[in-house]
Amino acid sequence: MRPDIITVILITILISVIILVALNRYYKNLLYRKHQLSQEKLESDYEQRTRDLEIGAKEDLHNKREILDKELFERRKRVSDEERRMEQRRNKLEIQSSELDKRKNKLDKYKFDIEQKDKEIDDKLGLQIEELQRIAGLTKSEAKNELMQMTEKESRDDMARMIRSIEKEAKSEGEDRARKLLVLAMQRVSSDQVSEHSTTTIPIPSDDIKGRIIGRNGRNIRSFEQVAGVDVVVDGAPDSVMVASFDPIRREVARRALSKLILDGRIHPAQIEKVVGESREAVEVIVKEEGEKAVYDAGVLGLDVQIVRLLGKLKFRTSYGQDQHSHAVETALIAGVIAAELGADVEISKSGGLLHDIGKAIDHEVEGTHAAIGAEICRRYGVSPVICNAIAAHHHEVEQETVEATIVEVADAISGSRPGARRENFEQYVKRIRSLEEIASSSEGVKEAFALQAGREVRIIVSPDKVDDLAAIKIAKEVANKAENDLQYPGQIKVTVIRETRAVHYAK
């Protein structure tokens, strides 16, 4: 290539580089001026906005200050009004205080005058009393005692007459109402005969069977007593064997088992164990059926299975010869009738009557009275507290809280004291009659006491010079309370106190 061409090319490149450098500087200057213009604009906008915000804040502050000044003015006005009212009240109170002081001064003056008059009256009264004592010839204490004695005598006579009148009226109306109610209850719930009693004596056909029962060296009888949990007495009578146990269920199981063994004739330990087991299962079935029957007959539903079972066990529990299973059902029905007549709760009365003696099913296993045991059992199995109170209170061991508890007690007495319900031996009867006469004779002023109608009535003859009418009423109540607390008896006891004055004179 030629040198002149190369020179031209170099010159051209140099000129291009110069032009590019100039253009670069121009654009840089142009961008810098644009940036400065935008920065100045932003600063101007910022300053304008700042001024606007300051102006707005000053206006808001001015408005709020005006509002606060207005509120402050109103509050000052209210405070001023309140101070004015308080000042008016203070003035009124000062006026009232002044008036009260004036009234107090007047009252003090009246009080002084009254005290002076009272003193004058006392002086005059003392003079009059002295004059009356001089005229009557009695001192004040003597006249007071004589007046008190006369008043006491008249009051005692009036009280005795009033008490006799009230008791006569209450007795007339109460006996008529009670008689109708109880007759109605016993007519609706009647029993033809006394319920059957559990049997503990088993007849045997011959002495050979008795020997089998005993076994060689007493092996069979020991095995039977151990398996059945009872005592067997074979020497009591020649033609019978007696089964003894405090548990009526065990006694019934033993009776059934021994009767089967006597009929079968095969008596040995293995057979004894088998027959006793079968008899125990049979008795359990009877217990369940009798419990369900009692619940059905009494019309009481919703009882726990264990309570129903205990009711069934009462089939084999007796008291004074009375079957407690039938007694419980009968008491429930009588209580239901009485509650219906009186407007009380029939369901609670029937439930309390059915369960009132349930504690007798296990009273040989647990310490305590059958009423307390029965209430605790029923409480444990979710029976209502009202029914539990009726059970616990039917012998007054706790306080009766409802009228239904009283109804249960009355129904229990009716069921236990109706003719043919119970029986007791002669020794117990004589002991009860003697105890009743001793209680009746223990009161002061009693001459004689006689128990009548098999202990259902006691008549007390008192000395008329030692016992007045009011004291006679008191003696009757005391004897009745002592009999309730100290004696066990069916039904009720009528206490009659006789006070009479006899005038005797002989014509010669």
Check whether residue 372 and residue 472 sit in a common domain.
no
Percent of the chain past pLDDT 70, that is, above it, reads: 80
Query: pLDDT confidence of 423, banded at 50, 70, 90?
Result: very low
> Do the domain assignments include residue 4?
no
480-495 per-position pLDDT tens digit: 888 888 877 655 788 8
> What does the pLDDT average to over 260-272?
83
Check whether residue 406 and residue 481 sit in a common domain.
no
Check whether residue 337 and residue 483 sit in a common domain.
no
Where in the sequence is the domain holding 233, given as residue range(s)?
Answer: 201-417
Q: CA 507, CA 197: separation in Å to the nearest integer? A: 65
**Residue 280: per-residue pLDDT:** 87
> Do the domain assignments include residue 494?
yes
Check whether residue 215 and residue 317 sit in a common domain.
yes
**Residue 193: per-residue pLDDT:** 39
**Residue 199: per-residue pLDDT:** 41
CATH number assigned to the domain comprising residue 458: 3.30.300.30
Check whether residue 299 and residue 377 sit in a common domain.
yes
Q: CA 293, CA 283: separation in Å to the nearest integer? A: 15
Q: CA 325, CA 446: separation in Å to the nearest integer? A: 43
Check whether residue 284 and residue 390 sit in a common domain.
yes
Check whether residue 216 and residue 307 sit in a common domain.
yes
> Do the domain assignments include residue 280?
yes
**Could you identify the residue written with the tokens 């007798």?**
360
**Residue 421: per-residue pLDDT:** 44
Compute the mean pLDDT over every residue in the chain, rounded to the nearest whole number: 79
Q: Domain ends where: 372, 390, 417?
A: 417
CATH number assigned to the domain comprising residue 399: 1.10.3210
Query: pLDDT confidence of 1, banded at 50, 70, 90?
Result: low
> Do the domain assignments include residue 422?
no
**Residue 419: per-residue pLDDT:** 45
Which of the pair, 428 or 28, is modelled with greater confidence? 28
Query: pLDDT confidence of 192, banded at 50, 70, 90?
Result: very low
Name the token pair of 375: 């209430």
Classify strands 457-462 and 446-452 as parallel, antiparallel or unpaired. antiparallel
Check whether residue 355 and residue 442 sit in a common domain.
no
Check whether residue 475 and residue 367 sit in a common domain.
no
Check whether residue 385 and residue 350 sit in a common domain.
yes
Distance of CA 86 to the CA centre of its chain: 60
**Residue 37: per-residue pLDDT:** 79
SS (H, E, C) 80-102: HHHHHHHHHHHHHHHHHHHHHHH
- The domain tally of the chain equals 2
365-418 per-position pLDDT tens digit: 777 888 888 889 899 988 889 999 999 888 888 888 888 988 988 888 887 665
116-126 per-position pLDDT tens digit: 888 888 888 87
| Pure H helices in 137-206 | 140-188
Check whether residue 355 and residue 246 sit in a common domain.
yes
> Do the domain assignments include residue 471?
yes
Q: Within 13 Å, how many C-alpha atoms sit on residue 30's CB side?
A: 6
Q: Domain ends where: 390, 417, 444?
A: 417
Please count the residues of the chain.
508
Q: CA 267, CA 221: separation in Å to the nearest integer? A: 10
> Do the domain assignments include residue 83?
no
Query: pLDDT confidence of 152, banded at 50, 70, 90?
Result: low
443-459 per-position pLDDT tens digit: 888 888 888 766 778 88
Residue 352 near residue 412 (C-beta atoms within 8 A): no
**Residue 369: per-residue pLDDT:** 84
> Do the domain assignments include residue 60?
no
Q: CA 352, CA 403: separation in Å to the nearest integer? A: 12
> What does the pLDDT average to over 59-78?
88
Query: pLDDT confidence of 177, banded at 50, 70, 90?
Result: low
Check whether residue 220 and residue 362 sit in a common domain.
yes
Q: Domain ends where: 417, 440, 456?
A: 417
Residue 212 near residue 250 (C-beta atoms within 8 A): no
> Do the domain assignments include residue 151?
no
For 451, other C-beta atoms within 10 Å of its C-beta total: 19
